[in-house]
Amino acid sequence: MTARLTQEGPYRFRIEPTGEMRVPGVVFASRELLIEADQAVDQVANVATLPGVVEASYAMPDIHWGYGFAIGGVAATDPRQGGVVSPGGVGFDISCGVRLMAADIDDAGLRPVLQDVMNGLDPAVPRGMGRGAVWRLSGRQDMMGILTGGSRYAVERGHGDERDLLRCEDAGAVADADPGQVSDRAIERGSGQVGSLGSGNHFLELQRVAEVYDTAVAEVFGLRPDQICVMIHSGSRGLGHQICTDHVRAMEKSMARYGIRVPDRQLACAPLESPEGRSYLGAMAAAANYGRANRQLLAHAARQVFEKVAGARLDLVYDVSHNLAKMEEHPVDGERRLLCVHRKGATRALPPGHADLPDDLRDVGQPVLIPGTMSTSSYVLAGVPDGPAFYSTCHGAGRAKSRHQAARGVSGRELKARMERGGIAVRGASWRGLAEEAADAYKDVSAVIEAAEGAGLGRKIARLVPVGVVKG
DNA sequence: ATGTAC
């Protein structure tokens, strides 16, 4: 399927429904950001063919090609119209997301002890392919607690403070998790990885607040100029990956039985109201809780290093997933409907006044955490009223070069030396992994943010720059 | 993203 885009706003393009498409496609981006997104735009059109899809198949400004759905894709389905859930619309790294903590020291206070803090974090933050973990599970009971209780269970077991949970999406745990739908193999893969970064673009960074665009909202979030922050990007490791694999396979087998045909095999799906659909949703929610517990443990490990080495406290700003499907109420055709909103490489961005926000954030909107690259800015946005795309925005810079291309351009050793000359401390897991994550392998995150803000998907609150990178 | 294939 070749999709044709027509511009209908400064940062809004439309794909007219043709063929099997049930709704239009809508891509929020600038012309420049779309130049190399052809395959991903085809995927936006493919998603528009899914049974029960409502309103439009959306894409965020950092859109790029992914498994079935584009990364940066958002699509909602209605169970009352035979709507489906598709694991490809969540991604292999279920509940991958970002956590931001703010320190009670500023850049000048950190500099004298920066290397000591980095040397403390280096052994305290397990990372790299297949490696784990902060928490050695004592048995099946701990795993069940994590799968149903997420960050809440981690805090109950002493890995954090009760007040952390107020600043977690879903107060730290997704409801409706069904550990019974998680395979033994997934549990086995996940049991030695609770509290580990993983590899690829996952990281723990020390960052400095370089610019504040809205002082009042930043203050509510807990951010001020020159302050040191810790940002964590990680997900559900081998457990989420195995759950995705298991349920894609089951759905591939059941699709014919439900009379579902999709233009791409990777769009395997099942009706929300079917045993296969419900089974995936229960397992996915369990993986989401694992991902949140994982970030809670990493945060707590960083907190202990900061306290011991720098005498500094870390307060949670927010924790939000950018790979998840959630049942949410949204107005469609003037009627409030319960929809399954798939966000894959897209961040939920609740507007001011939303009932699901904690009391202290309700007047200002949800903090939206957008990591850039190891050498460029990250952003904190806030959700805005009337956000299109079911209150969603972008999730990062978006890859521009393949991993192979990136590693050909620079060696890991060269890149680390270059970053350290620029004042950024680096603790990697592998030289190859470092080279693959070079900033020039990504699009310009500032252009992505400009498009997101221009399209009305969120608004800028603060810009952060890297000071130290602990890389998976 | 991922014990980079079962």
> Which CATH number fits the domain that encloses residue A169?
3.90.1860.10
Q: Is A159 a catalytic residue?
A: no
Q: Would A345 be classed as within a structural domain?
A: yes
pLDDT 10s digits, A143-172: 999 999 999 999 999 999 999 999 999 999
The candidate with the shortest Cα–Cα distance to A396, out of A62, A27, A74, is A62
Q: Are A60 and A346 in contact (CB under 8 A)?
A: yes
Nearest 5°: the CA angle A208, A214, A219 is: 65
What is the residue-averaged pLDDT of chain A?
A: 96
Share of chain A above pLDDT 70, in %: 99
Give the nucleotide nearest to A132 (CA→C1'): B3
Structure tokens at A222: 């807990």
* pLDDT for res A172: 96
Is A354 within any annotated ligand binding site?
Answer: no
Asked if the model's pLDDT at residue A348 lies above 90, the reply is yes
Residue A404 CA to nucleotide B4 C1', Å?
13
Give the nucleotide nearest to A236 (CA→C1'): B1
Structure tokens at A234: 């990680």
Structural domain including A296 reads 6-400+442-471
* pLDDT for res A138: 74
Residue A64 CA to nucleotide B5 C1', Å?
25
Q: Are A71 and A89 in contact (CB under 8 A)?
A: no
pLDDT 10s digits, A198-237: 999 999 999 999 999 999 999 999 999 999 999 999 999 9
Tokens 């707590």: give the residue.
A300
Is A471 within any annotated ligand binding site?
Answer: yes
Q: Would A390 be classed as within a structural domain?
A: yes
Asked if the model's pLDDT at residue A391 lies above 90, the reply is yes
Give the nucleotide nearest to A199 (CA→C1'): B1
Q: In terms of DSSP H, where are the helices of A233-331?
A: 237-254, 275-305
Q: Would A436 be classed as within a structural domain?
A: no
How many folded domains does chain A comprise?
Answer: 1
Cis previous bond, A283, omega within 30: no
* pLDDT for res A1: 47
Name the amino acid, one letter, at A190.
G
* pLDDT for res A396: 96
What pLDDT band is residue A140 in, cutting at 50, 70 and 90? confident
Asked if the model's pLDDT at residue A136 lies above 90, the reply is no
Asked if the model's pLDDT at residue A3 lies above 90, the reply is no
* pLDDT for res A2: 53
What pLDDT band is residue A129 in, cutting at 50, 70 and 90? confident
Residue closest to B1, CA→C1'?
A93
In this structure, what are the phi and psi dihedrals at residue A193, rounded to the nearest 5 degrees? -125, 10
Q: Would A410 be classed as within a structural domain?
A: no
Interatomic CA distance for residues A93 and A399, integer angstroms: 16
Q: Would A407 be classed as within a structural domain?
A: no
Interatomic CA distance for residues A305 and A30, integer angstroms: 42
Instruction: Return the half-sphere exposure (C-beta side, CA atoms, 13 A cut-off) of residue A197.
Output: 28
Burial A290-303 (b: 16+ CB within 10 A, else e): bbbbbbbbbbbbbb
Average pLDDT over residues A48-74: 97
State the catalytic residue, choosing from A159, A241, A395, A404. Answer: A395
Nucleotides of B under 7 A from a protein CB: 1-4, 6
Rounded to 10 degrees, the C-alpha dihedral A36/A37/A39/A42 comes to -140
Q: Would A233 be classed as within a structural domain?
A: yes
Average pLDDT over residues A298-312: 98
Q: Would A416 be classed as within a structural domain?
A: no
Average pLDDT over residues A423-440: 96
What pLDDT band is residue A139 in, cutting at 50, 70 and 90? confident
By DSSP bridging, strand A227-234 and strand A270-271 are unpaired
Phi-psi category of residue A386: left, alpha or beta, with phi > 0 → left and psi -120 to 50 → alpha? left
pTM of the predicted model as reported, rounded to 2 decimal places: 0.97
Q: Would A411 be classed as within a structural domain?
A: no
Say which residues have a Cβ less than 8 Å from residue A182's Cβ, sequence separation at least 6: A147, A239, A243, A283, A286, A287
Structure tokens at A261: 């045909």
What pLDDT band is residue A179 in, cutting at 50, 70 and 90? very high
Interatomic CA distance for residues A435 and A309, integer angstroms: 29
Helix (H) or strand (E) holding A72: strand A71-77
